[in-house]
Amino acid sequence: MNRAMAMFWRQGYQATSIAELLQTMDIGRSSFYAAFKDKRSFFIECLDLWAERTLDLIQRSRAQMPPVDALQSFFERGFVAASGAKGNWGCMLVNTVLEMAGVDDALADHASRHLDQLQALFGDCLTDAGAEPVRAQELAAMLMLFNEGIRVSSRRRVSQIHHRQSIATTFRLVRSSLS
């Protein structure tokens, strides 16, 4: 299932056929439809799994370091770990929103709600760091905008160094805004 999720992550929903999925999961057609209802339902499961892992990633970091550091490490990890030689696939939630909006709005909304959760978690980290609730919400919204932007940019052929720099300057701004 991890492989299937990665496939959806990289290629999106429409461009991934069931045949491809079966091959990478190394199971038969019957087994697939026995375990999952639909291609669509299965995609949602993968989407949820992806979101869950992403939230967990931040939560775990938060237990080990100051909250703002945890946030920053989240952005940096997304650009180092996920982008090997194989290239970066961006954020599955962002990808899904842009692919399905105007095609399957329910699906796009589902991904969008996950992004809301992520933004809420950003806010939590910022209040933890001592920001006032209102200000934390503002900053979280800004970080989400930054996230969406950099995830798009990461699917282009822009140099990694440049992204790192953007992250650095953004978080310098965030930190200065908190002190």
Partner DNA sequence: TGGGTTTTGTACCAATTGGTGCGGAATGAT
Partner DNA sequence: ATCATTCCGCACCAATTGGTACAAAACCCA
Give me the half-sphere count of Cα atoms (radius 13 Å) on the Cβ side of residue 26.
Answer: 2
Counting contacts by CB under 7 A, is residue 39 touching DNA?
yes
Q: Which residue stretch of 32-40, 115-123, 129-137, 161-169 sits at the interface with DNA (rule: CB under 7 A)? A: 32-40
From 11-19, 58-66, 96-104, 146-154, give the range in contact with DNA by CB under 7 A: 11-19
DSSP 103: T
* Site residue total, DNA (CB under 7 A): 14
Q: Which is nearer to DNA, 31 or 165 (CB)?
A: 31
Provide the minimum distance between the beta carbon of 46 and a copy of itself in the complex, in angstroms, as a whole number: 15
How far apart (Å, rounded) are the C-alpha atoms in residues 32 and 42? 9
Q: Among 2, 24, 40, 132, which residue interacts with DNA (rule: CB under 7 A)?
A: 40
Stretch that binds DNA, among 3-11, 12-20, 61-69, 138-146 (CB under 7 A): 12-20
C-alpha of 106 from chain center: 18
Please, which residue, 21 or 94, has the CB nearer to a copy of itself? Answer: 94
Say which entry of a copy of itself, DNA, none residue 152 contacts (CB below 5 to 8 A, set by partner kind): a copy of itself
CB-CB contact of 55 with 17 (8 Å): no
Report d(CA 8, CA 98) in Å as an integer: 14
DSSP 65: S
Signed CA dihedral, 95, 98, 102, 108: sign only: positive
